[in-house]
Amino acid sequence: MRIVLLGAPGSGKGTQGKQLSEKYHIPQISTGDLLRAAVAAESPLGLRAKAAMDAGQLVSDDIVLGMIEERLAQPDSKDGFILDGFPRNIPQAEALDLLLMRIGKPLQASLLMDVDFDLLMQRLTGRRTCESCSQVFNVYTSPSKLEGRCDSCGGNLRHRGDDREETIENRLKVYEAQTAPLVEYYRGQSKLRTVEAIGEIADIFNSICGLLDAVHEEELQRAKDVPAEVEAIAAAVTEKLSEATGEKPMKKAAKKKATPKKKAAAKKKPVTKKKVVAKKKVATKKKAAAKKKVVAKKKVATKKKVAKKKVATKKKAAKKKVATKKKVAKKKVATKKKAVKKKVATKKKAAKKKVATKKKAVKKKVATKKKAAKKKVATKKKAAKKKVATKKKVAKKKVATKKKAAKKKVVKKKVAAKKKVAKKKVATKKKAAKKKVVKKKVAAKKKAAPKKKAAKKKAAKKKK
């Protein structure tokens, strides 16, 4: 199969191209990959491309077509190829057609991956890529189990810059302006095949294979019809040639048949003369010889007429045969064409019905998936909100407990400080009271001391 893949960014050309390459054992040729490989290999075309890129210019179509021609010369592309990413506009498509006709590998089909604009926006804007393992998820169609985390490795999911809504809108506008006109170009060549690239990847792939198999069968049928038509035309031509060449030999044969009779007649004449001269018979014999001559001439004339009639009848019969053969050949060709057209029509109807049923099934699946995705998103949002609410509650409780604990500590500190102050006051009061008592005792002792001395003196005097 020799195929060109058409479709907007996000339509799934790369995914389906890989699967088609594996099934039909033909290479998937991406012009981007060709450019990178040629630049890395430093081939003459690669060096020219690198010079253009370094100068900030676009790589010319001549360079790209040269790379494609080099790639198609490799053995793995003898049974076909899948072009992905080229052509992007009508001038490139025309140049590609000329190249493929020159190398004897014309396109068989142009496959359009048709996707609704809103679904494209969903696919591209909802795409999330793992920073660690590069696995791709989609928040709308295939979200990860953990929000913002990869299911495989647990890495962080990133929203790429070229998947932003503004960037995607610009890319789709460029596609609509430049590449979309190719659809009409290939439709005009009766090479366009359209597939609704919506739903499961496997279902889309099966519908693509059905379309391509139908293209292959049509080509085989054409190959069968061409020899039959050629044979019919060749038969008609040979009959005409034989008819044209057969007229002259038939006339010659008639003349040849007639000439011996003339000779015979001519021979008869000298015989009669010899007889007349030699025998010198009576005049009656001369009259008889003259009568014989007239009879011979009449016989020759009648034989000529009969020969001419035979030639005419043969010509008429040959012409009738040619006409009948032509009619039969035309009828056969017409019946074959009708049968082929009927088969093609029935196949087209069946394909259309299949496509219609698949579209309906795909739309239902998409609707159900959208609903499921929305439900999942809603449940995740609810779960996330609940988690956030519970976390907030827990945080508030912690804060409240911490505040209570802090207040208790403050109160305890205040109580302890008050107790200390009270103890200090009590201690100071006790000290002051003790000091007063001591002072009183000292004062009392001081007052009692002279009295004691006087008493002691009196006692001493009394003893004496």
- Catalytic site positions: 13, 88, 127, 160, 171
**Of the candidates 87, 92, 71, 88, the residue with the CA atom closest to the CA atom of residue 26:** 71
Residue type, 58: L
Give the span between the Cα atoms of 24 and 366, in whole angstroms: 29
Residue 186, token pair as written in the block: 């290939």
What sign does the dihedral 39-45-51-57 (CA atoms) show?
negative
Give dist(CA 97, CA 82) in Å, integer. Answer: 14
**Paired residues of 3 in beta bridges:** 82, 109
| Residue 11 CA: distances (Å) to CA of 63, 172, 179 | 27, 11, 14
- Which 3 state secondary structure label does DSSP give 128? strand
Cα gap 211→404, rounded to integer Å:
75
Bridge partners (DSSP) listed for residue 111: 5, 193
Please give the structure tokens belonging to residue 319.
């012409």
Q: Which of 4, 14, 26, 28 is nearest to 97 (CA)?
A: 4
Give dist(CA 91, CA 61) in Å, integer: 9
Give SS3 for 137: strand
Give the span between the Cα atoms of 177 and 165, in whole angstroms. Answer: 18
From CA 9, how far away is CA 187, in angstroms rounded? 21
Q: d(Cα 163, Cα 84) in Å, to the nearest integer?
A: 20
According to DSSP, residue 155 is labeled: P
- Torsion region of 137: left, alpha or beta (phi above 0 gives left; psi -120 to 50 gives alpha): beta
